[in-house]
């Protein structure tokens, strides 16, 4: 048993979404007031109560959320924030104290990952040790909020308003990462990976050892682009190409192959909108106009690093 | 072969710029149906996986109220003021330093940073502030480019540092995968072979952030020229 687990934070996150629904509802000038409020209400319900609902009900809930988002029924409401002059004045007044709450999060994350798992009274643990890293970040965020309210002397209402403003800036992209993870699970269950590995094997002359390892790294990159997740690609491509061809047929070093193969997969992560939490969520968070702005900035990086990985693996995998 | 239809739906949907959430759900439904699940079973599986993966949104949602609150009281403006004191700071150097710190810390097993926790409230304003000191006002395109590179600095620092640490998810995943196949692979060897690419990634970021600074200088010069034509 544990005092603080992820489910406590699912309820808090859900509460912020439900509060957003209420704020949208009270925004009389909003053009899509009811559908937008419904969207945030359903989303909040899926977070706060998703764990105790039957999975099929959550599935249909997500279907409803998706239809609302795709039909253009979700718009940001008018949330008042401060003007630049006011912010400059309070920045002048509060000075470096503004940074302390923000720095509390990484500090708590580090301390928490190291020590929170060891704190327990008999059989009651302070935190659920299974998800220590995410739990520590969430605890840090709550502590930072308390410190922020103290430093700024703002009412808690202001924090809810600002949180709801930023939440609406991110919008439906917020749940894209977990929808993609669910899709990855469906792909795995359907056996999509084995089909792709078979195709690569048939299409390339993998009897040459250098072609085999190149096909492995290329497969890692391309399949990661399709799935948006290098971990999911790793099991498929290493099982389909890496182990039978590079390790067994040509005697390559599995540690070198796997390490560099995984990093080739990360090059794919930099290139794909499927990796929504890395490439699309920041577009919304940073309020960029071009949906692909982050991916475009990463194209030269990913290609240069992939070329570097390919040279490295070709030179080393059959030698060490 | 029919099982690949889900990937085709994704590719078609993204290239037609349909709502990404809709494309993902459609792809999941089609994949479920062609592999013999009923519509109801597909929804059930999707719901189950959605619930277990809710943790992915938590670090973002939980950070938003405090980030918004501090921004309301001038966090971004204060970060810009702070960077003015450093004469050597450029947008590119700020981002390169962040990539380096992110890589080094995560290589030691310390996961700090993040798009919501660090890039939006601190790193992007620091980089924009450094550029503003240098070039005066920034055009919309310049701000957009700096922010996109800030997100890239976070991703590169995150991805290409973590595999150097042996207790990280990816090393454990690889180790477990090979154990399942009865192939002996050491975690240390895999972590060691992550080091060259980690250094390579830092070098590539040094090149890209230098290119960012050069691009900003060129853009700023063009803007001044447009403002005061030489023959006028």
The string of DSSP codes covering A59-72 is: HHHHHHHHHHHHTT
Closest Cα of chain A to B93: distance in Å? Answer: 16
Flag whether B232 is in a domain. Answer: no
- Contact A276/A259 with Cβ under 8 angstroms? no
Is B165 within a domain? yes
Count CB atoms within 10 A of the CB of residue B147. 27
Q: B177 Cβ partners below 8 Å, 6+ apart?
A: A234, A235, A238, A239, A258
Is B137 part of any domain? yes
Q: Tell if the CB–CB gap between A179 and B21 is shorter than 8 Å.
A: yes
Residues B179 and B199 in one domain: yes
> Phi and psi of A63, rounded to 5°?
-60, -45
Note whether residue B75 is domain-resident: yes
Q: Are residues B75 and B133 in the same domain?
A: yes
Contacts of A238 (CB under 8 A, 6+ apart): A216, A257, A258, A261, B177
For the record, the structure tokens of A279 come out as 């490439």
- Specify whether B33 is located in the same domain as B110: no
From B56, B77, B102, give the residue that closes a domain: B56
Q: Is B208 contained in some domain?
A: yes
CA distances (Å), origin A180, targets A90, A173, B27, B46, B151: 41, 11, 10, 10, 20
Residues B116 and B210 in one domain: yes
Mean pLDDT across chain B, nearest whole number? 88
Confidence of residue B88 (pLDDT cuts 50, 70, 90): confident
When pLDDT is averaged across residues A188-212 and rounded to a whole number, the result is: 81
Same domain, B45 and B122: no
Kindly calculate the radius of gyration of chain B based on its CA atoms and give it in whole angstroms: 23
Domain count, chain B: 2
A-contacting residues in B 24-63 (Cβ below 8 Å): 24-25, 27-28, 31-32, 34-35, 40, 42-51, 53-63
pLDDT, tens digit, for every residue of A115-156?
887 888 887 888 877 777 788 889 999 999 999 999 999 999
Please answer yes or no on whether B49 and A185 come within 8 Å at the CB atom.
yes
A253 touches A317 (CB < 8 A): yes
Higher pLDDT: B36 or A198? It is B36
Mean pLDDT of chain A: 89
Instruction: Work out the pLDDT band at B167, boundaries 50, 70, 90.
Output: low
Is B131 in the same domain as B214? yes
The residue range of the domain holding B43 is 2-56
Phi and psi (nearest 5°) for A124?
-105, 115
Q: State the Cα angle at B176 between B172 and B180, rounded to 5°.
A: 175
Residue A201 CB neighbours (<10 A): 16
Q: Give the residue on A whose Cα is nearest the Cα of B48.
A: A55
Residue A79, pLDDT > 80, answer no
The residue among B23, B45, B155 with the most chain A CBs within 10 A of its CB, best to mutate, is: B155
Question: Do B172 and B80 belong to one domain?
Answer: yes
Q: How far is A56 from chain B (nearest CA, A)?
A: 4
Q: Among residues B41, B56, B71, which one ends one of the domains?
A: B56
Residue among A94, A134, A278 minimizing CB distance to B74: A94
Position B166 pLDDT exceeds 70: no
Secondary structure (DSSP) of B137-188: S--HHHHHHHHHHHHHHHHHHHHHHHTTSTTSHHHHHHHHHHHHTT----HH
Same domain, B156 and B45: no
For residue A80, pLDDT over 80 is answered with no
How would you class A292 by CB atoms within 10 Å of its CB: exposed for 0-12, middle for 13-18, buried for 19 or more? Answer: middle
Who among A58, A266, A305 is closest to B47 (CB)? A58
**First and final C-alpha spacing in chain B:** 67
Taking an 8 Å cut-off on Cβ atoms, the answer to whether B55 and A60 are in contact is: no
Residue with more model confidence, A125 or A45: A45
Domain boundary among B40, B56, B72: B56
Q: CA of A182: how far to CAs of A67, A168, A279, A281, B43, in Å?
A: 17, 23, 18, 17, 10
What's the first-to-final CA gap in chain A, in angstroms? Answer: 47
CB contact under 8 Å between B183 and A180, yes or no, is no
Identify the helix (H) or strand (E) that includes residue A311. helix A293-316
Note the pLDDT of residue A206: 80
Chain B contact set for A88 (CB, 8 A): 74, 77
Q: Which of A96, A145, A182 sits opposite B50 (nearest CB)?
A: A182
In a domain, B171, yes or no: yes
Kindly indicate whether the ipTM for this predicted assembly is greater than 0.95, answering yes or no. Answer: no
- Whether residues B161 and B208 fall in one domain: yes
Please say whether the beta carbons of A218 and A246 come within 8 A: no
| B97 vs A223, higher pLDDT | B97
Evaluate whether residue B67 is within a structural domain.
yes
One domain, residues B100 and B129: yes
Residues B127 and B32 in one domain: no
Whose structure tokens read 């595999």?
B163
Q: Do B13 and B86 lie in a common domain?
A: no
């Amino acid at each position: 048993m544990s005092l603080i687990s992820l489910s406590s934070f699912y309820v808090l996150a859900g509460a912020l979404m439900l509060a957003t629904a209420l704020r949208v509802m009270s925004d009389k000038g909003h053009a899509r007031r009811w559908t937008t409020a419904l969207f945030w209400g359903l989303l909040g319900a899926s977070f706060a109560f998703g764990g105790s609902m039957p999975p099929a009900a959550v599935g249909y809930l997500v279907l409803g959320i998706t239809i609302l988002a795709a039909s253009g029924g979700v718009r940001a409401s008018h949330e008042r924030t401060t003007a630049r002059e006011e912010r400059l004045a309070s920045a002048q007044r509060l000075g470096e104290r503004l940074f302390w709450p923000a720095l509390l999060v990484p500090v708590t994350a580090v301390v928490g990952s190291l020590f929170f798992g060891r704190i327990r009274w008999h059989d009651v643990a302070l935190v659920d040790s299974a998800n220590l890293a995410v739990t520590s970040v969430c605890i840090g965020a709550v502590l930072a909020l308390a410190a922020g309210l103290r430093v700024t002397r703002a009412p808690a209402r202001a924090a809810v308003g600002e949180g709801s403003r930023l939440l609406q800036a991110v919008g439906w992209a917020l749940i894209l990462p977990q929808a993609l993870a669910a899709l990855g699970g469906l792909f795995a269950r359907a056996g999509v990976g084995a089909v792709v590995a078979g195709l690569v094997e048939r299409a390339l002359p993998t009897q040459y050892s250098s072609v085999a390892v190149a096909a492995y790294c290329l497969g890692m990159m391309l399949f990661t682009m399709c799935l948006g997740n290098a971990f999911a690609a790793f099991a498929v491509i290493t099982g389909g190409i890496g182990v039978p061809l590079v390790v067994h047929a040509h005697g390559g070093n599995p540690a070198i192959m796997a390490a560099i193969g995984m990093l080739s997969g990360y090059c794919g992560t930099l290139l794909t909108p499927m990796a929504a939490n890395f490439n699309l969520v920041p577009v919304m968070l940073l309020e960029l106009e071009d949906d692909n702005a982050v991916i475009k900035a990463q194209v030269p990086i990913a290609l240069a690093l992939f070329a570097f990985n390919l040279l490295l693996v070709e030179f080393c995998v059959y030698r060490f | 072969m029919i099982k690949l239809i889900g990937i085709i739906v994704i590719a078609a949907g993204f290239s037609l710029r349909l709502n990404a959430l809709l494309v993902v759900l459609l792809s999941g439904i089609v994949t479920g149906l062609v592999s013999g699940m009923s519509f109801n079973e597909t929804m059930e599986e999707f719901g189950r996986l959605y619930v277990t993966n809710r943790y992915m949104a938590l670090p973002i949602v939980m950070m938003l109220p405090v980030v918004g609150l501090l921004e309301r009281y001038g966090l971004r403006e204060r970060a810009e003021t702070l960077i003015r004191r450093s004469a050597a700071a450029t947008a590119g150097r700020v981002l390169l330093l962040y990539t380096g710190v992110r890589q080094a810390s995560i290589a030691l097993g310390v996961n700090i940073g993040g798009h919501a926790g660090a890039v939006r409230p601190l790193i992007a304003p620091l980089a924009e502030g450094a550029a503003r000191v240098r070039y005066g006002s920034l055009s919309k395109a310049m701000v957009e480019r700096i922010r996109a590179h800030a997100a890239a600095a976070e991703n590169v620092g995150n991805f290409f540092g973590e595999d150097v640490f042996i207790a990280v998810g990816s090393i454990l995943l690889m180790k477990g995968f090979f154990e399942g196949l009865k192939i002996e692979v050491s975690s240390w060897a895999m972590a060691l072979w992550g080091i060259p690419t980690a250094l390579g990634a830092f070098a590539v970021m040094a090149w890209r952030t230098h290119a960012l600074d050069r691009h900003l200088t060129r853009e700023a010069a063009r803007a001044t020229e447009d403002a005061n034509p030489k023959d006028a």
